[in-house]
């Protein structure tokens, strides 16, 4: 397969890897089943796009505000629902993500189902300049700048989260995952920690959504349906529960399979092939769960003790 294919795989793998990092912090290290990551991605992507297209902001100024918008949404969703039991929180976040998607689908200022274009001009200019600069070294692939940006951020965020896991802060998050009443009985404000975890997860979701928008050049609500969140969870499960590093291998494997299956020639319609992809991915997950329930890189001890 061509270089373009592998760059494409790595770009989308990086985008989902960033979203999965946020989910790993939430689910793997705080015990919060955040099923609304697609919603946080959508808010990030659309806020960026609206600021650039409607308000004429430069992209570098729009991105921090878009991340802040997503964090604010996380705090608004989390403040009431994080007081509930974890399964209610999970349902609340699915509902939140769907509400966000339907709002953008019906909002005329955001193009409705038509979506938005033109938010990425600033990025294209920069990427064009960078790839023409790199061209003399034979690495002038037009997708390369996006690949680099995504993976530099992905790896930096991964290292930072991994470091945070080993702080007293990270220790309390794990305690919340294990038994939040016991944490409260020891004098720690459980809700504050849950909100911080969710806010950071949402910020990573927003960044993932912004990269996703830059990758597609045309932003529409269908990009953020619930399967996006579930793909990100599949990446997390493949890599392993409570492991940030596992996400790298999880996301590369998941997207290699997903994209690679496009090249298998079977006497099937496009729709059928699309479904078959999901069947095969599901099968791989089932086999993995049988053989290595902790995921490819996950820690067995942290899985076993939750039975």
Partner 1 sequence: MITVRDEGRPILSIEGVWKSFGGLAAVAGVDFSVAAGSITALIGPNGAGKTTLFDLISGFAKPDRGAIRFNGTSIGRLPPHRVARLGLVRTFQLTRVFEAMTVLDNMMLAAPAQPGEKLITHVAGRAASKRSDRDVRAWALELLARFKLDGKADDYGASLSGGQRKLLEFARALMTRPKLLLLDEPMAGVNKVLGRQLLDFVEDMRRTEQVTFLFVEHDMDVVMARADRVVVMAEGAVISEGSPEHVRNDYRVVDAYLGQPRGAA
Positions touching partner 1 (CB under 8 A) are 164, 167-169, 171-172, 174-175, 177-179, 181-190, 196, 242, 301-302, 304-306
How far apart CA 134 and CA 142 sit, in angstroms, is 10
Helix (H) or strand (E) holding 267: none
Cβ-based nearer residue to partner 1, 139 or 182 = 182
> Rounded to the nearest whole angstrom, what is the least distance from the CB of residue 184 to partner 1 in the complex?
4
Task: Please compute Rg for the chain using Cα positions.
Answer: 20
The two tokens of residue 133 are 């600069």
Judged by beta carbon, residue 4 or residue 179, the one nearer partner 1 is 179
Closer of 81 and 251 to partner 1 (Cβ): 81
For partner 1, which is the closer residue by CB, 49 or 196? 196
Q: Encoding tokens for residue 193?
A: 């920690």
Q: Tokens in use for 10? A: 């790595």
The torsion angle over the Cα atoms of residues 286, 165, 183 and 233, rounded to 10 degrees, is -30
Angle at 26 between CA 29 and CA 217, to 5 degrees: 135
Q: CB 242 → partner 1: shortest distance, Å?
A: 8
Q: What is the smallest separation between the CB atom of 178 and partner 1, expressed in angstroms?
A: 4
Minimum distance between the CB of residue 189 and partner 1, rounded to whole angstroms?
Answer: 5
Q: How far apart are CA 12 and CA 151, in angstroms?
A: 10
- If the CB atoms of residues 166 and 290 are measured against partner 1, the closer one turns out to be 166
Q: Which two tokens stand for residue 157?
A: 């965020």
Least distance from partner 1 to the Cβ atom of residue 224, Å: 28
Torsion, CA 72, CA 198, CA 204, CA 213, rounded to 10 = -60
Q: Select 136 or 168, whichever has its Cβ closest to partner 1.
A: 168
């Amino acid at each position: 397969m061509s270089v373009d294919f592998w760059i494409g795989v790595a770009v989308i793998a990086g985008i989902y890897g960033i979203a999965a990092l946020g989910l790993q912090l939430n689910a793997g290290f705080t015990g919060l089943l955040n099923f609304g990551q697609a919603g946080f991605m959508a808010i990030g992507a659309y806020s960026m796009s609206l600021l650039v297209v409607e308000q004429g902001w430069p992209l570098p100024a729009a991105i921090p505000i878009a991340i802040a918008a997503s964090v604010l949404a996380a705090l608004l969703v989390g403040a009431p629902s994080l007081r509930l039991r974890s399964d209610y929180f999970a349902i609340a976040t699915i509902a939140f993500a769907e509400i966000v998607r339907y709002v953008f689908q019906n909002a005329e200022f955001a193009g409705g189902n038509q979506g938005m274009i033109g938010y990425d001009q600033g990025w294209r200019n920069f990427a064009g300049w960078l790839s023409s600069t790199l061209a003399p070294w034979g690495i002038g692939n037009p997708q390369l700048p996006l690949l680099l940006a995504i993976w530099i951020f992905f790896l930096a965020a991964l290292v930072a989260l991994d470091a945070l896991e080993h702080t007293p802060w990270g220790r309390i998050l794990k305690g919340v995952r294990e038994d939040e009443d016991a944490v409260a009985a020891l004098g720690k404000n459980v809700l504050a920690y849950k909100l911080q975890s969710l806010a950071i997860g949402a910020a990573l979701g927003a960044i993932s959504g912004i990269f996703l928008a830059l990758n597609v050049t045309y932003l529409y609500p269908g990009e953020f349906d619930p399967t996006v969140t579930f793909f990100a969870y599949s990446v997390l499960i493949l890599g392993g529960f409570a492991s940030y590093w596992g996400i790298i291998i999880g996301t590369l494997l998941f997207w290699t399979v997903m994209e690679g299956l496009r090249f298998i020639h079977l006497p099937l319609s496009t729709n059928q092939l699309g479904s078959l992809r999901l069947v095969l991915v599901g099968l791989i997950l089932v086999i993995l769960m049988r053989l290595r329930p902790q995921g490819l890189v996950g820690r067995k001890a942290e899985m076993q003790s939750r039975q």
